[in-house]
A = this chain, B = another copy of it.
Amino acid sequence: MAHSNSQRGVCLPMSERKRVTIKDLAAEVDVHYSTVSRVMNPATRHLVAEEVATRILKLAELRGFRPNRIAAGLRTQRSGLIGVVLPDIANPVFPPILAGIEAVLGRHGYVPIVVNAGVERARQRFVIDQLLARQVEGLVLATAERDDPLLDYCFQLGIPVVMVNRGEHTGRASCVVSDSQLAMALTVDHLVSLGHRSIGHIAGPASTSTGELRREGFMQAVKRHRLRRGAYAVVEAESYTREAGRRACAQLFEALPGLTAIAAGNDLVAMGCYDFLRERGLRCPEDVSVVGHNDMPFVDALTPPLTTIRIPVHDMGEQAAELLLRRIEKPQTATVVIELRPELVVRGSTGAPPGQG
């Protein structure tokens, strides 16, 4: 029954045609299949007579031969697969990072397996196990929180790991991040130069490296400018979301009633600030200036267009992939932290403080 339509002589639909293998080719050219294998690999091609090689290559082309990378990988112990673990692909920061990763990987003959790991521990482990069962040669983690147990799990398993976007401080893995300290310096400098003297910061969750580092950066900048206590305040958003930003913004106004400028932990948080200001009937930037972080797509189309920090997301992906590949080649390579240079993009959400225009 199952074979009712595969009688001899009937042309099978392509989907049922057997994939062609080196053995098929070898039989047809009448050489041993190891010779075919040598020809298919550019690095060993020179080992076989040119005439034979061209004959094989031509036939391979004709038959649409495609070497089975998976079989090769089994033999060579290299799958050519890299796992990319994201907390949430729908977060607009990740797609460009992923694009950067994929670009570099492709150039080196690798291919990414992308998974959404979410936030639950159990799911994260499951996903990593899936990846490992597929023999991924390394992992790019964009999920990591400070002291992330997932990281411990990876190290325990002995798989090469690099972190992107968020960092970690134990030095066990290389990280590619944007320079948060510089970013916050740019932000605060900009605000101060506009005349602001009462500035609040809505920090991201302290469990993330970005949350912590941006907060530190803010504090340093504020001290460098000798803002006195009472001229600045920091509150923490529960998460990097618009809604958490809105709530944190409310708290910030309680902590620092006279504030004229807000450095938001990221653009989503900044959007939450917009929401809050609108509710309160406060105008941006006339009453309160807002600076975001990330330069997400389309924040230039908000009203007002958001002044924010642009982080080189695509680059981050590329660098992370390169670091990982290097580490796979040479496992002894020292871990490094690559800090990429962010830049301030001034748009319409920042201006002089009220009464100073």
Contact = CB atoms under 8 A, between A and B. Distances in A.
Interface of A: 13-17, 64, 66-71, 73-74, 79-81, 88-90, 92, 94-96, 98-99, 102-103, 106, 111-116, 127, 129-135, 155-160, 242, 271, 274, 296-298, 301-303, 331
Contact of A302 (B15, B79, B94, B302): B302
A131 B70 CA distance: 11
A77 to B, nearest CB: 9
A133 B66 contact: yes
Nearest to A313: B90
Contacts of A14: 155-158
Given A70-B73, A92-B95, A111-B115, 17 more contacts: A15-B158, A15-B331, A16-B331, A66-B129, A67-B133, A74-B74, A90-B95, A90-B99, A92-B297, A103-B116, A111-B113, A111-B130, A111-B131, A242-B301, A271-B298, A274-B301, A298-B302
5 contacts: A17-B158, A70-B135, A90-B96, A111-B115, A111-B130
Contacts of A135: 68-70
Contact of A134 (B111, B159, B302): B111
A190 to B, nearest CB: 22
Contacts of A127: 106
A328 to B, nearest CB: 10
Contacts of A296: 298
A159 B66 CA distance: 14
A111 B133 CA distance: 11
A223 B271 CA distance: 41
A112 B103 CA distance: 17
Contacts of A74: 68, 70-71, 74
B79 A89 contact: no
Given A74-B70, A90-B99, A113 B113 contact: yes
The 4 A-B pairs at the shortest CB distance, nearest first, are namely A14-B158, A303-B303, A15-B158, A69-B133
Contacts of A331: 13, 15-16
A20 to B, nearest CB: 12
Contacts of A79: 70
A290 to B, nearest CB: 13
A106 B103 CA distance: 25
Residue among A14, A89, A156 with max Cβ neighbours from chain B (10 Å): A89
Nearest to A274: B301
Nearest to A303: B303
Contacts of A158: 13-17
A70 B298 contact: no
A351 B302 CA distance: 20
Contact of A157 (B64, B68, B115, B302): B64
Contacts of A298: 271, 296, 298, 302
